[in-house]
Amino acid sequence: MRSKEPILEVKDLHIYFYTYAGVVKAISGVTFTVYKGEKFCMVGETGCGKTVISRAITNSIPKPGKIVKGEVIYYGLGRPVNILRLSEDELRELRGKEIAYIVQDPSSALDPLYQIGYQISETMYDHGMVGSLKEGILKAVELLKQTLMPDPNKRIKNYPHELSGGQKQRAVISMGISNTPKLLIADEVASNLDVTVQAQLLELLRRLVEKRPHPLLNHP
């Protein structure tokens, strides 16, 4: 049963993209509320704006996009905060710690120059969840175990190109849950994988969210 307390409110959101060909009104008047403990799913055809809305929640709309109207109210800090009015330093504190974002393409989220274990550890170290990168590596192994990564002690030493698509997605999920965020946003996390792996990852996310008292905002 979901809580009656909201964790996120999106109010009358409008997002436009200013291109050479003209203004593209990608999002017009979107409003919804996500409650604590809830699994909230956005459904729509490809190109309808699901990813744009997800990016707006952490004020991460890439240029030439711009949020021209609306509010994104986050309640996880003990008081309502309009994310769209936060400074860049405040947003850095929020992203990855309070609100985590699991991208659709894991290759875009993983640095090809660094091992998986280091990247997961760095995510925790940057937000003060571990005292050292070495401590983070040990926790990274446990996170990979939770995401059912095969042979996690070996995988932490792998570079992204050495992993399969499903393994890279498990690594990105591990990064997403590493700081125990209060809101987890999953951006079509299984869309580029085969049907069997899709089912495994969606079931994995369901179990992870149920183990942790945090809501999930997902669009399949």
- The side-by-side arrangement of strands in the sheet containing 39-41 is 39-41, 216-219, 183-187, 99-102
Question: Residue-wise pLDDT tens for the chain (220 aa)?
Answer: 556 899 999 999 999 999 999 999 999 999 999 998 888 888 888 888 889 999 999 999 989 999 999 999 999 998 999 999 999 999 999 998 999 988 878 888 899 999 999 999 999 999 999 999 999 999 999 999 988 899 999 999 999 999 998 899 889 989 988 998 999 898 877 666 677 777 777 787 777 777 765 555 554 4
What CATH number does domain 6-219 carry, 1.10.3720.10, 3.40.50.300, 1.10.10.10, 3.30.470.30?
3.40.50.300
Q: Are 174 and 146 in contact (CB under 8 A)?
A: yes
Type of residue at 4: K
Local structure of residue 85 (DSSP, 8 states): G
Count, residues in the chain: 220
Where do the domains of the chain lie? 6-219
Type of residue at 63: K
Q: Are 132 and 125 in contact (CB under 8 A)?
A: yes
Residue 220: predicted pLDDT: 46
The C-alpha atoms of residue 43 and residue 217 are separated, in whole angstroms, by 11
Q: What is the pLDDT of residues 210-220, one digit of tens each?
A: 776 555 555 44
Whether residue 62 is preceded by a cis peptide bond, meaning omega within 30 degrees of 0, is no
Q: What is the pLDDT of residues 130-161, one digit of tens each?
A: 999 999 999 999 999 988 899 999 999 999 99
The C-alpha atoms of residue 52 and residue 56 are separated, in whole angstroms, by 6
Q: Count CB atoms within 10 A of the CB of residue 156.
A: 23
Type of residue at 191: S
Residue 76's Cβ-side half-sphere holds a number of Cα atoms within 13 Å equal to 24
Kindly state the tokens that stand for 142.
Answer: 């446990």
**Secondary structure (DSSP) of 40-64:** EE----TTSSHHHHHHHHTT-PPTT
59: left (phi over 0), alpha (psi -120 to 50) or beta: left
